[in-house]
Amino acid sequence: MRAPPSAMEAGDIPACAFPSGYAGTYRALGTQRAPWQRVLASCVLDPLGLVHTRVAETRADLQAVVPAYSAAVGADGLAYDVRQRYHPGWVAHGVVVSTPREVGTCAGEVGAGTVRAASRVRAMTTRICVCGPR
C-alpha cells in the first residue's frame, strides 16, 4: 500500500502557501517539486554521511526501528505497536527513521549551519505561530 504523492510534491500547491513545518523546511532546502526523499538525501543525509537515516515508505521499512506503542492507533483504548498499524505514506512528509547517533549528528550539524547557509537554517528552525494571537 503506497500513498499518492502530496499535492505540493505534484506541484499543485506552492510551498509558499505554508510558512512553516514541512513545506517551510522543503522550501528552505531549495526545492518545491523534487520528491522529499531525494531532497533530504541530497541536501542533508549524503553531505553528512548519514547512511542509516532514510524516509520510510512502507510498513516494512518501520520494522527495523524500536517498537513504539500508542493507544492512538487503535479504537479500543489499548496500546498497540505503531509499526504494525501506521503507514508512513499517510503523511505528506513520510516518516524519517534513523539511529540515535545519526539523529544527534544531524541535529548538531544542521544547528551549526554545516548543511546549508545560515539563512536557510534560520528558515528551518524559526518558530512561527499558526494558531493566531494569544
Determine the average pLDDT of the residues in 106-125: 72
The answer to whether 35 and 17 have CB atoms below 8 angstroms apart is no
| Distance (Å, whole) CA 57 – CA 120 | 26
Looking at the DSSP bridge assignments, the partners of residue 81 are 69
For residue 36, pLDDT beyond 70: yes
Distances in whole angstroms, Cα of residue 3 to Cα of each of 54, 99, 100 = 17, 25, 27
Q: What is the pLDDT of residue 4?
A: 40
pTM of the model: 0.59
Determine the average pLDDT of the residues in 1-26: 43
88 phi/psi in degrees, rounded to 5? -65, -20
Of residues 37 and 24, which shows the higher confidence score?
37
Q: What cell does 130 get? A: 499558526
Q: What's the pLDDT tens digit per position in 44-82? A: 888 889 999 998 888 999 998 889 999 998 899 999 999
